[in-house]
Amino acid sequence: MTVAEEADKFGLHRVGARPTLASYLKQTWERREFIYELAKARVQKQNQQNRLGMIWVVLKPTMNAIMYGVIFGVLQGDSKGPDFPVFVVIGVFLFEFFTSSMNGGAKSITGNQALVQSLSFPRLTLPVAQVTQNLLTLMPMVVVMFIYAMILGTTPKWTWLVIIPLLMIFSVFNMGIALICARITVHIRDFTQILPLITRMLFYTSGVLFSVDRILNHWPWLVRIFDFHPLYQTLQIARAMIMNDATYDPFAWIVVSVWALLALGFGLIYFWKAEELYGRAN
Protein backbone atom coordinates (compact mmCIF):
# COMPACT_ATOMS: atom_id res chain seq x y z
CA MET A 1 0.00 0.00 0.00
CA THR A 2 1.36 3.41 -0.97
CA VAL A 3 1.69 6.32 1.44
CA ALA A 4 -1.16 8.12 -0.33
CA GLU A 5 -3.43 5.09 0.01
CA GLU A 6 -2.50 4.67 3.67
CA ALA A 7 -3.25 8.35 4.37
CA ASP A 8 -6.56 8.13 2.55
CA LYS A 9 -7.48 5.08 4.61
CA PHE A 10 -7.27 7.11 7.82
CA GLY A 11 -8.86 10.22 6.36
CA LEU A 12 -5.62 12.18 6.09
CA HIS A 13 -5.22 14.74 3.34
CA ARG A 14 -2.21 16.47 1.87
CA VAL A 15 -1.58 19.97 3.23
CA GLY A 16 -2.60 22.59 0.71
CA ALA A 17 -4.45 20.08 -1.46
CA ARG A 18 -7.07 21.58 -3.74
CA PRO A 19 -10.61 20.90 -2.46
CA THR A 20 -13.51 20.05 -4.70
CA LEU A 21 -15.10 23.02 -6.42
CA ALA A 22 -18.26 22.73 -4.28
CA SER A 23 -16.21 22.64 -1.08
CA TYR A 24 -14.07 25.51 -2.36
CA LEU A 25 -17.09 27.73 -2.94
CA LYS A 26 -18.53 26.76 0.45
CA GLN A 27 -15.30 27.72 2.22
CA THR A 28 -15.25 31.03 0.40
CA TRP A 29 -18.87 31.76 1.30
CA GLU A 30 -18.11 31.03 4.97
CA ARG A 31 -15.54 33.84 4.80
CA ARG A 32 -17.94 36.38 3.33
CA GLU A 33 -17.66 38.65 6.39
CA PHE A 34 -13.87 38.63 6.08
CA ILE A 35 -14.18 39.52 2.38
CA TYR A 36 -16.46 42.46 3.11
CA GLU A 37 -14.38 43.75 6.03
CA LEU A 38 -11.19 43.46 3.99
CA ALA A 39 -12.78 45.34 1.10
CA LYS A 40 -14.16 48.04 3.42
CA ALA A 41 -10.81 48.49 5.18
CA ARG A 42 -9.05 48.91 1.86
CA VAL A 43 -11.58 51.50 0.73
CA GLN A 44 -11.03 53.47 3.94
CA LYS A 45 -7.27 53.25 3.51
CA GLN A 46 -7.41 54.22 -0.16
CA ASN A 47 -5.82 57.61 -0.79
CA GLN A 48 -5.59 58.11 2.99
CA GLN A 49 -2.22 59.80 2.70
CA ASN A 50 -3.48 62.30 0.12
CA ARG A 51 -4.83 65.66 1.25
CA LEU A 52 -8.10 65.15 -0.62
CA GLY A 53 -8.46 61.54 0.54
CA MET A 54 -11.48 59.71 -0.88
CA ILE A 55 -12.39 62.71 -3.03
CA TRP A 56 -9.91 61.29 -5.54
CA VAL A 57 -12.33 58.41 -6.09
CA VAL A 58 -14.59 60.73 -8.08
CA LEU A 59 -12.04 63.41 -8.96
CA LYS A 60 -9.89 61.10 -11.08
CA PRO A 61 -12.69 59.87 -13.42
CA THR A 62 -14.07 63.41 -13.50
CA MET A 63 -10.78 64.81 -14.80
CA ASN A 64 -10.51 61.94 -17.29
CA ALA A 65 -14.04 62.63 -18.53
CA ILE A 66 -13.27 66.33 -19.00
CA MET A 67 -9.95 65.70 -20.74
CA TYR A 68 -11.17 62.97 -23.09
CA GLY A 69 -14.50 64.71 -23.62
CA VAL A 70 -12.84 67.90 -24.84
CA ILE A 71 -10.29 66.14 -27.04
CA PHE A 72 -12.65 63.64 -28.64
CA GLY A 73 -15.47 66.14 -28.81
CA VAL A 74 -13.29 68.36 -31.01
CA LEU A 75 -12.01 65.42 -33.09
CA GLN A 76 -15.49 64.02 -33.79
CA GLY A 77 -17.07 67.35 -34.63
CA ASP A 78 -20.72 67.02 -35.68
CA SER A 79 -20.60 63.21 -35.52
CA LYS A 80 -20.29 63.11 -31.75
CA GLY A 81 -24.06 63.22 -31.28
CA PRO A 82 -26.32 65.01 -28.79
CA ASP A 83 -25.65 65.13 -25.02
CA PHE A 84 -22.02 64.21 -25.64
CA PRO A 85 -20.78 65.38 -22.19
CA VAL A 86 -23.22 63.01 -20.43
CA PHE A 87 -22.32 60.30 -22.93
CA VAL A 88 -18.63 60.58 -21.96
CA VAL A 89 -19.25 60.84 -18.21
CA ILE A 90 -21.23 57.58 -18.17
CA GLY A 91 -18.65 55.81 -20.29
CA VAL A 92 -15.61 56.93 -18.29
CA PHE A 93 -17.15 56.32 -14.84
CA LEU A 94 -18.37 52.80 -15.61
CA PHE A 95 -15.23 51.83 -17.50
CA GLU A 96 -13.22 52.87 -14.44
CA PHE A 97 -14.99 50.09 -12.52
CA PHE A 98 -13.94 47.54 -15.12
CA THR A 99 -10.29 48.60 -15.29
CA SER A 100 -9.88 48.76 -11.51
CA SER A 101 -11.34 45.25 -11.23
CA MET A 102 -9.09 43.84 -13.96
CA ASN A 103 -5.92 45.54 -12.72
CA GLY A 104 -6.65 44.93 -9.06
CA GLY A 105 -7.61 41.32 -9.71
CA ALA A 106 -4.33 40.75 -11.54
CA LYS A 107 -2.39 41.78 -8.41
CA SER A 108 -4.71 40.20 -5.83
CA ILE A 109 -2.53 37.09 -5.36
CA THR A 110 0.96 38.33 -6.17
CA GLY A 111 0.40 41.53 -4.21
CA ASN A 112 -0.56 39.59 -1.06
CA GLN A 113 2.16 36.95 -1.18
CA ALA A 114 2.95 37.10 2.55
CA LEU A 115 -0.69 36.50 3.43
CA VAL A 116 -1.05 33.73 0.87
CA GLN A 117 2.03 31.87 2.07
CA SER A 118 1.40 32.20 5.81
CA LEU A 119 -2.31 31.37 6.19
CA SER A 120 -4.55 28.60 4.93
CA PHE A 121 -7.71 29.92 3.28
CA PRO A 122 -9.33 29.76 -0.15
CA ARG A 123 -7.36 32.19 -2.30
CA LEU A 124 -10.56 33.01 -4.14
CA THR A 125 -11.37 35.39 -1.29
CA LEU A 126 -8.65 37.81 -2.43
CA PRO A 127 -9.87 38.62 -5.97
CA VAL A 128 -13.46 38.58 -4.67
CA ALA A 129 -12.48 41.12 -2.01
CA GLN A 130 -10.81 43.23 -4.70
CA VAL A 131 -13.94 43.41 -6.85
CA THR A 132 -16.04 44.04 -3.73
CA GLN A 133 -13.72 46.93 -2.87
CA ASN A 134 -14.16 48.35 -6.37
CA LEU A 135 -17.93 47.99 -6.12
CA LEU A 136 -17.95 49.90 -2.82
CA THR A 137 -15.83 52.58 -4.46
CA LEU A 138 -18.21 52.71 -7.42
CA MET A 139 -21.24 53.59 -5.27
CA PRO A 140 -20.29 57.25 -4.62
CA MET A 141 -19.08 57.47 -8.21
CA VAL A 142 -22.55 56.50 -9.48
CA VAL A 143 -24.17 59.15 -7.27
CA VAL A 144 -21.79 61.78 -8.64
CA MET A 145 -22.41 60.49 -12.17
CA PHE A 146 -26.14 61.13 -11.74
CA ILE A 147 -25.44 64.60 -10.33
CA TYR A 148 -23.27 65.43 -13.35
CA ALA A 149 -26.00 64.12 -15.64
CA MET A 150 -28.56 66.49 -14.07
CA ILE A 151 -26.14 69.43 -14.16
CA LEU A 152 -25.57 68.76 -17.86
CA GLY A 153 -29.31 68.86 -18.56
CA THR A 154 -30.51 65.27 -18.18
CA THR A 155 -33.98 64.88 -16.70
CA PRO A 156 -34.21 62.38 -13.79
CA LYS A 157 -36.47 59.40 -14.51
CA TRP A 158 -37.45 56.05 -13.05
CA THR A 159 -35.25 54.16 -15.51
CA TRP A 160 -32.24 55.41 -13.58
CA LEU A 161 -32.97 52.61 -11.10
CA VAL A 162 -32.17 50.06 -13.81
CA ILE A 163 -28.52 50.87 -13.13
CA ILE A 164 -28.79 48.58 -10.08
CA PRO A 165 -29.38 45.25 -11.91
CA LEU A 166 -27.02 46.38 -14.67
CA LEU A 167 -24.19 46.93 -12.19
CA MET A 168 -24.91 43.54 -10.61
CA ILE A 169 -24.43 41.86 -13.99
CA PHE A 170 -21.40 44.03 -14.71
CA SER A 171 -19.90 43.03 -11.35
CA VAL A 172 -20.28 39.35 -12.21
CA PHE A 173 -18.47 39.94 -15.50
CA ASN A 174 -15.70 41.91 -13.78
CA MET A 175 -15.33 39.16 -11.19
CA GLY A 176 -14.69 36.61 -13.92
CA ILE A 177 -12.10 38.87 -15.59
CA ALA A 178 -10.40 39.50 -12.23
CA LEU A 179 -10.10 35.75 -11.56
CA ILE A 180 -8.60 35.09 -14.99
CA CYS A 181 -6.07 37.91 -14.61
CA ALA A 182 -5.20 36.82 -11.06
CA ARG A 183 -4.08 33.38 -12.21
CA ILE A 184 -2.31 34.63 -15.35
CA THR A 185 -0.21 36.99 -13.22
CA VAL A 186 0.83 34.14 -10.92
CA HIS A 187 2.27 32.29 -13.93
CA ILE A 188 3.49 35.33 -15.87
CA ARG A 189 4.52 38.23 -13.63
CA ASP A 190 5.22 40.41 -16.66
CA PHE A 191 1.50 40.34 -17.42
CA THR A 192 1.09 43.40 -15.19
CA GLN A 193 3.33 45.29 -17.59
CA ILE A 194 1.07 44.41 -20.50
CA LEU A 195 -2.18 45.23 -18.69
CA PRO A 196 -1.96 49.03 -19.20
CA LEU A 197 -1.72 48.43 -22.95
CA ILE A 198 -4.73 46.08 -22.86
CA THR A 199 -6.66 48.58 -20.75
CA ARG A 200 -5.92 51.43 -23.14
CA MET A 201 -6.88 49.33 -26.16
CA LEU A 202 -10.21 48.38 -24.57
CA PHE A 203 -10.82 51.99 -23.58
CA TYR A 204 -10.54 53.17 -27.18
CA THR A 205 -12.46 50.23 -28.68
CA SER A 206 -15.42 49.89 -26.30
CA GLY A 207 -17.43 52.96 -27.31
CA VAL A 208 -16.47 54.89 -24.16
CA LEU A 209 -15.87 58.06 -26.17
CA PHE A 210 -17.78 57.57 -29.39
CA SER A 211 -21.04 56.28 -30.81
CA VAL A 212 -20.36 53.20 -32.92
CA ASP A 213 -23.41 53.80 -35.13
CA ARG A 214 -22.20 57.29 -36.00
CA ILE A 215 -18.46 56.72 -36.36
CA LEU A 216 -18.54 53.30 -38.06
CA ASN A 217 -21.73 53.65 -40.10
CA HIS A 218 -19.79 53.01 -43.34
CA TRP A 219 -18.75 49.56 -42.06
CA PRO A 220 -21.98 47.79 -41.05
CA TRP A 221 -20.16 44.48 -40.52
CA LEU A 222 -17.98 46.18 -37.89
CA VAL A 223 -21.01 47.73 -36.20
CA ARG A 224 -22.49 44.24 -36.06
CA ILE A 225 -19.45 42.99 -34.13
CA PHE A 226 -20.11 45.60 -31.46
CA ASP A 227 -23.57 44.08 -30.95
CA PHE A 228 -21.74 41.29 -29.09
CA HIS A 229 -19.20 43.49 -27.29
CA PRO A 230 -19.88 43.15 -23.51
CA LEU A 231 -18.36 46.47 -22.46
CA TYR A 232 -19.97 48.41 -25.28
CA GLN A 233 -23.41 46.90 -24.66
CA THR A 234 -23.14 47.61 -20.93
CA LEU A 235 -22.48 51.27 -21.68
CA GLN A 236 -25.29 51.33 -24.23
CA ILE A 237 -27.82 50.10 -21.66
CA ALA A 238 -26.60 52.56 -19.02
CA ARG A 239 -26.80 55.49 -21.44
CA ALA A 240 -30.26 54.51 -22.62
CA MET A 241 -31.48 54.34 -19.01
CA ILE A 242 -29.91 57.66 -17.98
CA MET A 243 -29.76 60.00 -20.99
CA ASN A 244 -32.80 61.86 -22.33
CA ASP A 245 -33.14 60.50 -25.87
CA ALA A 246 -30.72 57.55 -26.00
CA THR A 247 -32.01 54.19 -27.20
CA TYR A 248 -30.71 50.62 -27.21
CA ASP A 249 -31.58 47.15 -28.42
CA PRO A 250 -33.06 44.99 -25.60
CA PHE A 251 -30.91 42.17 -27.01
CA ALA A 252 -28.06 43.91 -25.19
CA TRP A 253 -29.32 42.46 -21.89
CA ILE A 254 -28.84 38.95 -23.25
CA VAL A 255 -25.36 39.81 -24.50
CA VAL A 256 -24.11 41.23 -21.20
CA SER A 257 -25.75 38.45 -19.16
CA VAL A 258 -24.26 35.64 -21.26
CA TRP A 259 -20.83 37.25 -21.19
CA ALA A 260 -21.05 37.68 -17.42
CA LEU A 261 -21.94 34.02 -16.85
CA LEU A 262 -19.27 32.79 -19.25
CA ALA A 263 -16.57 35.01 -17.73
CA LEU A 264 -17.44 34.01 -14.18
CA GLY A 265 -17.78 30.31 -14.99
CA PHE A 266 -14.52 30.09 -16.89
CA GLY A 267 -12.69 32.40 -14.47
CA LEU A 268 -13.82 30.43 -11.43
CA ILE A 269 -12.74 27.05 -12.79
CA TYR A 270 -9.52 28.46 -14.25
CA PHE A 271 -8.60 30.07 -10.91
CA TRP A 272 -9.62 27.05 -8.81
CA LYS A 273 -7.51 24.65 -10.90
CA ALA A 274 -4.34 26.42 -9.74
CA GLU A 275 -5.28 26.74 -6.07
CA GLU A 276 -2.35 24.59 -4.96
CA LEU A 277 0.14 26.86 -6.74
CA TYR A 278 -0.77 30.12 -5.03
CA GLY A 279 0.85 29.41 -1.65
CA ARG A 280 4.18 28.23 -2.99
CA ALA A 281 7.24 30.38 -2.58
CA ASN A 282 8.66 31.79 -5.80
Q: Which domain holds residue 150?
A: 23-277
What pLDDT was estimated at residue 228?
92
- Is the distance from CB of 178 to CB of 131 less than 8 angstroms? yes
CA distance 144 to 137: 12
Dist CA 184 CA 40 (whole Å): 26
Residue 1 counted as domain residue: no
pTM: 0.87
d(CA 80, CA 39): 38
Residue 3 covered by a domain: no
- Residue 14 in domain: no
Alpha carbon 101 to chain centroid distance? 4
Q: What is the pLDDT along the chain (282 residues), one digit of tens a residue?
A: 554 454 455 444 454 567 889 999 999 999 999 999 989 888 877 766 665 566 666 777 777 777 766 666 655 566 566 678 888 889 988 999 999 999 999 999 988 887 887 777 889 999 999 999 999 988 888 888 898 888 888 888 898 999 999 999 999 999 999 999 999 998 888 888 899 999 999 988 888 888 787 777 778 888 888 889 999 999 999 999 998 877 888 899 999 999 999 999 999 999 999 888 886 645
> Domain for residue 129, yes or no?
yes
User: Total structural domains in the chain?
Assistant: 1
Q: What is the pLDDT of residue 260?
A: 97
CA–CA dist 178, 104 (Å, integer)? 7
pLDDT at 6: 47
CA dist., res. 72 & res. 67, Å (int): 9
Within a domain: 108: yes
Which pLDDT score is estimated for 10?
Answer: 44
Q: First and final CA of the chain: distance in angstroms? A: 33
